[in-house]
A and B are shown apart, each in its own frame.
Chain A
Amino acid sequence: MLAFALRRLLAAIPTLFFVILIAFLMVHAAPGGPFDSERALPPEIEANVAAAYRLDEPLPAQFVRYLGGVVTGDFGPSYRYRDYTVAELIAGALPVSVLLGGLAMILALAFGIAAGSAAALYRGSWLDRGIMASTMIGISIPVFVVAPLFVLLFAVTLRWLPAGWSGADGTGRLVLPVVALALPQVAYIARLLRASLIDVLGSDFIRTARAAGLPMQAVLFTHALKPAILPVLSYLGPAVASILTGSVVVEQIFGIPGLGQLFVTGALNRDYTLVLGIVIFYAALIVLMNLLVDLLYGAIDPRIRYS
C-alpha cells in the first residue's frame, strides 16, 4: 500500500507541472495586467512598474523564475494585495475555508447519511418520498438563492445571526454560511447513499443475515452501510477539495475571507501569482484527496487490492 501511495505521488509531479504550465500560459494570455485600471498608467510609470515587478522579462524567463520559486516553496508576492506574499494570503485564507468547509462536510455527512439510510430502509413509504422530494429541492435551488434568503430571514428580519463575517467575532457568523454550504451536499449524499443502499440491501449476504435473525438495525450498521458508503466516499474526495478551497458564492454573499474569494478577486485583477498559487494548491489537494479516497476504499472494502 505504501508503494502504491508513493507511486501515485510520483505520478502527480508531471501532472502538477503541466497544471502550472497551462495555468501560467492562460493567466498571461488573458488581456490586461495586474496594474491596469480604467485610468491607464502613463508609459514611463508603466515601464517603472513592469521593471519593479519584473513583468518586463520575456515569458519563458518569468516561467522559469516562477517555477524555481515554487520548487523552493516561494510563490512570490501578490500583485493585488501588494503588502502580502501569495503564501501568506493562502495561509491566512485556508483556515477560514477549512473551518467552514469542514463543518459543512460534517453536517452534510451526518444528515446525508441519516436521511439516505432512512429513505432506503423505508423505501416507497411517505418518509422516503418526503426525503427524496426535499433533496431534489436541496439540489435544484442554487446556493445564491438560499444564502440571501437565509440572510434576509435570520439576519435582517429576525436579527438572530450576523449577516456577514467581518466584525461579528462570535461563532454565530459560522452558522448561516455553513448551513448554506452543507444543504446541497446533504441532498447529494442522501441520494447517493439511498441508491447504493437499496442495491446492497437486495443482495444475498443481507438476506442471509436477515434470515439468521439479525435485527434490521444491526444488519444496516454492521453489514450494509459499509459497502453502500463506497460511492459516497468517491464523491467525497472532489467534494472535500472543492469545499475546502472555498465556495465563491457563499464567501461573496457573507463577505468571508476564504480561498474562493481570493481566487476570484485574483483572477479579475490579473493577480498572476495569486491565481497560480491557488491553482497549484487546488491541484495538489485534488491529487491528495483522490489518493486518500483510493486508500480508504481498500480499508473499507477488503475486495480491493493495490498492485
Chain B
Amino acid sequence: MTESKANRKHVYLLLAAAIVAAGVFALWPAPTERETSRAAADTLHRGIGAAPESFDPHKARSVQASIVFRDLGEGLTGYTAAGELVPAAAESWELSEDGLVYTFRLRDTARWSNGEPVTADDFVFTFRRIVDPATAALNAGAIGPIANGPAIVAGGLPPESLGVSALDDLTLEITLSQPTPYFLALLTHPSTFPQNAANIEAHGAGHARPGVLVTNGPYRLAAVEPSSLIELERNPHYWNDAATAIDRVHYHVLVEPMSEYNRFRAGELHTTSTVPTDIFASVREQFPAALRVAPSLGIYYYGYNVTRPPFKDNLPLRQALSMAIDREVLVEKITGRGEEPAYSWIPPGIPGYEPPRLPFELMSQEERNAQARRLYYSAGYSDDKPARIELRYNTSDEHERIALAIQSMWRDVLGVETTLINEEFQVLLANMRERKVTEVFRSSWNGDYNDAHTFLSIFESGSPWNLSGWSNAEYDSLMRRASTQLNPETRRRYLEEAERLLLAEYPVIPLYYYVSKHLVSPEVEGWEDNILDYHYSHHLSLGAEGS
C-alpha cells in the first residue's frame, strides 16, 4: 500500500518534471525566429539612448526626441547628410532688403502622411501653436526672432498677432522683429515642423500616438513601446519618397551605453547613439571601421559663480585656476576619444566665424603654471593661506575622473585645496541656477544651430543659461549691435569682440570640445560625419552584409 503510494508520487514527480521541461523547451527560441527578425534587411536598427518624452515636438526638447522628429517631419529648411542647409518643405525663399521679411514658396508636392497637401496655413497654425501660452511649448524660444513672438509667449498678445501669414496656399510670409542671420537654421528645428491642425483638434492630447500622429516627413510613427522601442515606417506620401531607401526604422531605447554596445556586438543594432567611454580604447581596437568620431558643436566647461566669494571680483584667481589646468592631459589621459583641448568658448567649425583664443594658448604648460602662481599670489593667497574651493559636478565616472585630475593639478601647481562634491544631476542644476552654494561647477553647452550666437547669447545679462551670473554692459551692447547688423562681416567682428571680452573676464574655464561618437555597421551606407551630429534615416541605406 505504502509502496504503491510512493510509486504514484514518483509518477506525479515525473509528470511535473515533464511539464517544467516542456515549458522550458517552449520558451527556448526556435533558431529561425531570430534569424528572420535579424535578416530583415529593410529595417534599420538604431540605438537612441534615453526614450523621447513625447512625439509632439512642442512637448519635448530632448536630443532623442529631435532625432526621431527629424525622421518623422520636415521644416521649411533642412540639412543634407553632410550638414549643409538646404530647402526642405519650402522650395525657395526671398528675404526683403531690410532683412526682416522672408517669403517662402512651399513645394506643391509636399504631403502629409495621410495624403493631404501641406499648406501655408499649416505652418501658420504651427507657429501660433508654439507661442500660444496654452500650449506651454518647451521650445517656444526657438522662434523668438519672429515679430511679437516673445510677447505672445509671455501672455501679452494673442497668438494671432504673430508675424506669420499665409499669402496663398503655397506662400508663407514671416516677419522678424530684427534681422536674424541664423533664422534659416532655426527653421530646421523640429518645433517648427508643421503640425496637422485637423488631427490635433480631433484627438487632443492623444494626437501624438502611433497610428494617429500625422506628419510630413519621410517616415510615420508605426508603433511605440514607451521605454523600449519606437517603430517608424516609410511614409509613401512624402514628396521625396523615391529617395528613401529604408522601409522601416526601429529606434531602441537603451539608457546604458554598455548595453547598447553589447546589442551592437551581437549584431542587433546597425548604429549606436554613443560609445561607452570607459572601454573606448578596446572599442576602437575591435571596431576600427565602424567607429565614427567627429568634432561636434559642444563644449565641456567649468564655470565660476562670480556672484559670491571667492570668485566675485577676483579675476586673478579665476585666471590662475584656468591656466593651471593642463588640458592636453585631460583629453589624452582621461577622455581619450579624440577630443580637442578648448582654448576658446566657441568650438571651431562654425562657417564664417573664427573664435578668438585664450591668450595663454601659445605658452607651454610650465610657463602657464609659473604665471598662474604669480596671479594666485597676487590675489592674496599663499602656501600658508591657500584658497579653499568647492567643485561641484553631477555624478558620473568620467566627470569624477576629470574633477580628480583638476583637483590635483590645482593642488600641485597652486596649492589650492579643492573639495569635490558630486551631486545628482537635478540637484546640481538647481544649485547652479540658484547660485547660492556653487563655487566651481561642471557644465556643458551644445549649439542649437550652426552660428556663434547660440554660444554667446547665454552670457547676456538675464539669460536663463548664464549659470556664472556674469554680467557685462559692454558685452551686452556688443551682442545687441551684432544682432541688428545686416553686414555679415561687421556682425562677425562684433561677435568675435564679444567672445574676446568673455575670455578675458574668465567667468568660465573652457576644457575641451565634444566629439560625436557612434558605431555604424559597415552595412550602413550614406552616413556622413557632420558637426551638428544629425543623421537622418532617409539619407541612409543598407548595403550588402558587410560585417
Contacts and interface: CB of A to CB of B under 8 A. Distances in A.
Interface string B115-149: 00000000000000000011111101100000000
B443 interface: yes
Given A44-B153, A170-B37, A213-B2, A81 B227 contact: yes
> Which of A163, A253, A256 has the largest count of B CB atoms less than 10 A from its CB?
A163
Interface of A: 30-33, 35-45, 48-49, 51-53, 77, 80-84, 89, 92-93, 103, 106, 110, 148, 151-152, 155-156, 159-175, 178, 213-215, 217-218, 221-222, 252-257, 261-262, 265, 268, 270
B259 A42 contact: no
B255 interface: yes
Given A39-B61, A41-B138, A215-B6, 13 more contacts: A31-B427, A36-B429, A45-B153, A48-B136, A51-B133, A81-B53, A155-B266, A161-B29, A166-B252, A170-B29, A172-B34, A213-B2, A265-B51
Interface of B: 2-3, 5-6, 9-10, 20, 23, 26-31, 33-34, 37, 45, 50-51, 53-56, 59-62, 133-138, 140-141, 150, 153-155, 205-206, 208-209, 225-229, 250, 252-256, 258-259, 262-263, 265-268, 424-427, 429-431, 433, 443-444, 464-465
Given A49-B138, A164-B259, A254-B259, A44 B154 contact: yes
B259 A171 contact: no
Contacts of A53: 136
B54 A218 contact: no
Contacts of B263: 163-164, 255
Contacts of A172: 28-29, 33-34
- Interface of B, helix, strand, loop or mixed by DSSP: mixed
A82 B262 contact: no
Contacts of A265: 50-51, 227, 255
30 contacts: A31-B430, A32-B426, A36-B429, A37-B61, A40-B433, A45-B138, A45-B153, A49-B136, A52-B135, A81-B54, A161-B29, A161-B34, A162-B266, A166-B252, A167-B45, A167-B252, A167-B268, A168-B37, A169-B33, A170-B33, A171-B29, A173-B29, A175-B27, A218-B2, A218-B9, A252-B255, A253-B259, A255-B254, A257-B225, A268-B425
A268 B429 CA distance: 13
A43 B55 CA distance: 24
Nearest to A88: B226
B429 A38 contact: yes
A92 B228 CA distance: 11
A109 B228 CA distance: 29
B2 A45 contact: no
B262 A156 contact: yes
Contact of B227 (A40, A44, A262): A262
Contacts of B256: 252-253
B51 to A, nearest CB: 7
Nearest to B36: A170
A92 B226 contact: yes
Contact of A167 (B9, B10, B137, B229): B229
Contacts of B226: 81, 83-84, 89, 92, 257
A45 B27 contact: no
A164 B27 CA distance: 16
Contacts of A84: 226
Contacts of A37: 61-62, 429
B53 A82 contact: yes
A170 B430 contact: no
Contacts of A36: 426, 429-430
B26 A42 contact: no
B136 A257 contact: no
A169 B465 contact: no
B28 A171 contact: yes
Nearest to A173: B29
A38 B37 contact: no
A178 to B, nearest CB: 8
Contacts of B20: 110
Nearest to B208: A83
A192 to B, nearest CB: 21
B153 A171 contact: no
A72 to B, nearest CB: 19
Contact of B464 (A31, A35, A41, A173): A41
B141 A42 contact: yes
Given A32-B426, A170-B33, A92 B225 contact: yes
**6 closest Cβ contacts across the A-B interface?**
A172-B29, A32-B426, A52-B136, A257-B228, A170-B33, A166-B229
B58 to A, nearest CB: 10
Nearest to A258: B227
B9 A171 contact: no
B262 A155 contact: yes
Contacts of A39: 61, 465
Contacts of A252: 255-256, 259
A42 B20 CA distance: 59
Contact of A165 (B27, B34, B228, B465): B228
Nearest to B20: A110
A167 B55 CA distance: 20
> Which of B5, B266, B431 has the largest count of A CB atoms less than 10 A from its CB?
B266
